[in-house]
Structure 1
Amino acid sequence: MNSTPSEGTRAAGGAGVGLTVSTLIPMESALLVPLSLLLGAILGGGAVAIVIAAARRGQRAAQVATSTVPDGVGQVIDALESAALVLDASNTVIKTSPGAHALGLVWHRALVHARLIEVVDRVRRSGEAVTEDLELTRGPLGDAQLRLSVRVAPLGTRFMLLIADDRTEAHRLEAVRRDFVANISHELKTPIGAVGLLAEALEHASDDPEQVRKFADRLQIESARLAAMTQEIIELSRLQASNALADPAEVDVESVVSAAIDKNRVAAEAAGIQLVAGGAKKVKVLGDEAMLVTAVHNLIANAIQYSTKPSRVGIGVIRTDDIVEIAVTDQGVGIPDDELDRVFERFFRVDQARSRATGGTGLGLSIVKHIVQNHGGDVRVWSQAGHGSTFTIRLPRPVEQSTEPAPKKKKVRA
């Protein structure tokens, strides 16, 4: 009887131990599952991070590759005088010539003008090169207008090439030419019409000697004005020729001034103007004496025309180390500030009524400008309304050649 309970107890105890072990095994398995998942997540996240980092490195490498200009293109762009640039797929400027910055087409590696971006995008979509004439401003802040001939073409599969030629000066010269022709037509119409009317008046006044003399005098004035204008137009055309100074020689400036004064002396005396010359002596320049006499003569004639009576006109010569200046100063009506930049334009007159009354053509100062430019110099003007003006011709001095004899070579005894 005693053995039964003890055996039952051992059996029960054995049974208890068996239950504990069997219970621990599924508990351990339950703990290992989330641990395994956590470890897998950590390892998987690291793998994903490695993959992402590798992808980013690939993108950076691709960006570096796409920012590289094809071989030889960079050297060609550096050698171009025109404005040239290369853009990548995002329209970022990756290569430019100096001309592109000079024209203000690029700002912070981007195209300044929306019109250019529009043309580039159109070429990128079509794949065909385009040439257009555009009118743009110079730079993002400037208001100066540029006339450009723009050529945009694909450069490989990723890049775009843009080349711009500046045609601003050509368009300006064409506009000047059109204005010149229009001005000539207008200016010649006046004296030609006057000659026709005076001839008709002479016919009707043939029985009145006094009227005949009056109309004949007026006819001479208009014909002289017409002849002067024609001669100045011919002179201006000749000065614009490329070989205007085909055979330059040393010219004495004092002789030029003296000849110009002599050509204006009668007109000065008639207008009550005194001509006074002074300044440096024995000064020479390289050029054409007849042209220089014409230039100084025109300045003196202009000074007489716009001077009040009585007054005087001064002609002075100044010599520096490298420059010779011929200044003509009057005490006349002067030039308003807003017209100073226009005085050298063809047919421009400060005082239309005064100029027409004195027979002025409006070409004298333009001829002066072209003569001086052909001699490698410039002409400047200073003026104050009501107090007079000073026109100054500046010419380079010729390089003096050494007159010292070359040193003799010493004989070497054998």
Structure 2
Amino acid sequence: MYDSPLPSILVSSVFGVMGLAIALAVLLFIIDHVEPIVERLLGGASFTEWLGNLIGRKTRGLRRRRDDDDGDAGLDASAESLLSILPSASLIVDRDGDVVRANPQSYRLGIVRDDSIVNEKVLETVREVFATGGRQRFDLETETPERFVTASDDDTQSGAGVSPGARPGVRRPNWLKVTVGRVDERHVVVLIDDVSETVRFAQIRDSFIINVSEQLLGPTEALGRLADDLEAGGGNVPDRARIEADAREVRTTSNHLNHMVSDLLLLIKAQEPIVPSAANRLNVMDEVRAVKASLAQRIADFGVDVNVEGDDSLVVNGDSGQIRTALTKLVENAIEYSEPGGYVGVSVEADEMRRHAVIRVIDQGKGIAKREQSRIFERFYRGADQSARTADGVGLGLSIVKHVALTHHGTVAVWSAPGQGSTFTLTLPIAR
């Protein structure tokens, strides 16, 4: 006679229920202790709210994909083909304001984030076109989002090894021409033409012409005064003294002009793109030491102590002439803006991810006013507070540094405060 299996089943069921209860108790205990930590990480939102939002987003995403599939069936095939070959950034939006199709550029240009339009002007125009039909065009200026700045030439951030509190030196806005039109009853297309390079080139051209013209006025006026004095005759002592003064001014302005032409040539050179290869691998510390050696006489003349230290293993891809020019400009500025007996430090280290070489030039000078820090990388910009030691500059040095950083796929930034000196940070990708 066989024993009944019922008691064993009951025992197993009891133990199973007890195990499930214990597991739930442990889970609740963990949530109870972890929730305060999660709330701090989520900026005050509770764990249950975050979980609910997460589930909601997943549900909305699935619903959106289902709606997109239904919408695609209604989207004209010729329109799809046309949009796929358009050179400009484009996106298709449905009546709910959700982005059905989006060119990756629309994210970088600050128009779309998380499959939604985030620019109010574009969103408002989309609604108007849905309501009234037709087509609308307008100009728009946007800022590249921070997450794209990290991987592009426009940005300067701590992930690339920039000092905390450093101000960006190479970020640039986007100038766009936007066209919004209806594709069908359920879809609107937004075409985005990025004209940033054209606008930027026009601004640079106009600024260049104005600034070079102003720089040329000094030498030509001094030469004109000298010519007038010579024509009037220089036999008398007072006249001769005036001629000598004019001649000194001609020499000063000529030196200034020579300095400007030399820096302009360096600026042009600094805009030649760098393609990483085995032939252009450079040891960063070797370049820094070479710059210090080349400035030995200037360092002695100004009576400043320049100390160089860092990681000798860091190697970058680059043009030695360009990198040395950029470093020379940074160290020269640090020397000229330091008091006699002052200290200038140059350090070289890798960032936390060992993806970038970070070169910092630190001085104990008078610092840079906050209102000027956003402009110091502009061509020909000169701060208002210049001394006799810095009066000969033409305002191209930091612009050269900026373009060297850009052509080497790096960044440049500055931290400074009046009376506390300045720290310039040049970040370059480590060679792989």
TM-score range, shorter chain: 0.5 to 0.7
Contact 1:274 1:312 (C-alpha < 8 Å) held by counterparts: yes
Deviations 1:74-114 (A, max 9, x none): 576578661322566xx966744255574159659x98555
1:412 maps to which residue? Answer: none
Q: Which moved more, 1:209-218 or 1:302-311?
A: 209-218
Contact 1:198 1:218 (C-alpha < 8 Å) held by counterparts: no
AA of the residue aligned to 1:393? L
Higher relative contact order by CA 8 Å / sep ≥ 6: 1 or 2?
A: 2
2:408 maps to which residue? Answer: 375
- Shift of the 394–218 alpha-carbon distance from structure 1 to 2, 3 Å rule, reads same
Structure 1 residue 229 and structure 2 residue 260: aligned?
yes
- Shift of the 228–83 alpha-carbon distance from structure 1 to 2, 3 Å rule, reads same
Deviations 1:185-216 (A, max 9, x none): 22332343334334545666844466655543
2:315 maps to which residue? Answer: 284
Task: Tell me the secondary structure at the aligned position of residue 400 of structure 2.
Answer: helix
Structure 1 residue 85 and structure 2 residue 118: aligned?
no
Extract unaligned runs of 5+ from structure 2: 1-69, 144-171
Q: How does 1:203-352 map to 2 (within 5 A)?
A: 206-207=234-235, 208=237, 213-242=244-273, 249-281=280-312, 283-319=314-350, 321-351=354-384
Contact 1:205 1:211 (C-alpha < 8 Å) held by counterparts: no
Percentage of matched positions with identical amino acids: 28
Shift of 1:322: 3.4
Shift of 1:367: 0.4
Contact 1:245 1:288 (C-alpha < 8 Å) held by counterparts: no
Task: Tell me the secondary structure at the aligned position of residue 393 of structure 2.
Answer: coil
Task: Tell me the secondary structure at the aligned position of residue 354 of structure 1.
Answer: coil
CA distance in 2, matches of 1:94, 1:393: 39
2:74 maps to which residue? Answer: 68
CA distance in 2, matches of 1:287, 1:325: 14
After superposition, the CA RMSD in angstroms is 4.1
TM-score between both structures, scaled by the size of structure 1: 0.64
Structure 1 residue 196 and structure 2 residue 224: aligned?
yes
CA distance in 1, matches of 2:174, 2:305: 48
Report which of the two structures shows the higher radius of gyration computed on alpha carbons. Answer: 1
- Shift of the 246–107 alpha-carbon distance from structure 1 to 2, 3 Å rule, reads closer
TM-score between both structures, scaled by the size of structure 2: 0.61
- Shift of the 318–145 alpha-carbon distance from structure 1 to 2, 3 Å rule, reads closer
Task: Tell me the secondary structure at the aligned position of residue 387 of structure 2.
Answer: helix
CA distance in 1, matches of 2:256, 2:222: 11
AA of the residue aligned to 2:305? Q
Task: Tell me the secondary structure at the aligned position of residue 84 of structure 1.
Answer: strand
Q: How does 1:26-45 map to 2 (within 5 A)?
A: none
Contact 1:77 1:97 (C-alpha < 8 Å) held by counterparts: no
2:51 maps to which residue? Answer: none
Contact 1:285 1:395 (C-alpha < 8 Å) held by counterparts: yes
CA distance in 1, matches of 2:271, 2:344: 29
- Shift of the 95–373 alpha-carbon distance from structure 1 to 2, 3 Å rule, reads closer
Aligned length in residues: 324
Shift of 1:266: 3.0
Contact 1:355 1:361 (C-alpha < 8 Å) held by counterparts: no
Shift of 1:259: 3.1
